Structure 1
């Protein structure tokens, strides 16, 4: 699991399962975090040149896009792997 160095990602009492390894990313390196690539998809494909009437409308649109993305596991893996 890749961690981006946020304060809540550091703990001396954390117990990891035997099959999990943590990879701490260097500071200020969002390009190395696979999850950052995931947000490029809706930003480039479904938000391109869009104007929303309200923040709620934007939030509803993002929720729908996220729901569609998470149902396709292979698609997500192709982006973050």
Structure 2
């Protein structure tokens, strides 16, 4: 019997510095997207953030509320490649997850956590990907 299990990585990247904030969440939906917005807003209270969002359904929900220090900027339809963090996902898939099979969802999440942490502490690498 084939069973599918899912976990999801959310991330926001500062294209000027390469700093990246990420969360591992159980779903892709408005509630989880709101958690990312709130987390980024709280981590960077002294910053004025413009969060670029592509046309994913959980990005376009009228229920999303930007934190006080954040403005949401929607990209045109069918242009997700204009979202800087999409280039980070491409890098992760190629370098960290290409042709990998995991014994369990926990093993995948452990690997994902290490990969995210490695990029969070390597701002120059992220900057080179998104700049």
Instruction: Please indicate the TM-score interval, normalised by the length of the shorter structure.
Output: 0.7 to 0.9
Alignment pair present for 1:40 and 2:93? no
Q: Could you tell me whether the CA contact under 8 Å between 2:53 and 2:74 is conserved in 1? A: yes
Alignment pair present for 1:27 and 2:77? yes
Alignment partner of 1:49 out of 72, 96, 99: 99
- Number of residues of Structure 1 aligned to a counterpart in Structure 2: 78
Distance 1:79 1:69 in 2: 11
Query: Which digits, 9 at most, give the CA deviation of each residue in 1:21-76, with x for residues without a partner?
Result: 76431012111111111111121011111110011111110110000011011111
Alignment correspondent of 1:78: 128
Structure that is richer in helix per residue: 1
Q: Which runs of 5+ in 1 are unaligned?
A: none
Structure that is richer in strand per residue: 2
Q: Could you tell me whether the CA contact under 8 Å between 1:3 and 1:9 is conserved in 2? A: no
Q: Which runs of 5+ in 2 are unaligned?
A: 1-49
TM-score, normalised relative to structure 1: 0.75
* RMSD value, Cα: 2.6
